[in-house]
């Protein structure tokens, strides 16, 4: 049997940081996603 990966649970503070970076528009979505280690689709949502 293969082991399932557990989903990451991000805190509200982490989500706020990522969201503020995206709203500022200084960096691209790809740069933000690489910096915080999340998928680009999560940043855009």
Q: What does the pLDDT read at residue 8?
A: 84
Rounded to 10 degrees, the C-alpha dihedral 10/13/15/16 comes to 180
Global pTM value: 0.74
Q: What does the pLDDT read at residue 2?
A: 73
Task: Name the token pair of 36.
Answer: 């915080």
Q: What does the pLDDT read at residue 6?
A: 86
From first to last of its 45 residues, the chain has per-residue pLDDT tens of 678 888 888 899 999 999 999 999 899 999 999 999 999 998 888
Rounded to 10 degrees, the C-alpha dihedral 11/35/20/39 comes to -70
Q: In Å, how far are 3, 6, 7 from 22, measured between CA atoms?
A: 34, 26, 23
CB 24 within 8 A of CB 31: no
């Amino acid at each position: 049997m293969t082991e399932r990966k557990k989903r990451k649970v991000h805190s509200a503070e982490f989500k706020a940081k990522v969201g503020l970076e995206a709203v500022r528009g200084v960096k691209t979505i790809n740069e933000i996603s690489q910096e915080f280690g999340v998928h680009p689709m999560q940043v855009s949502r």
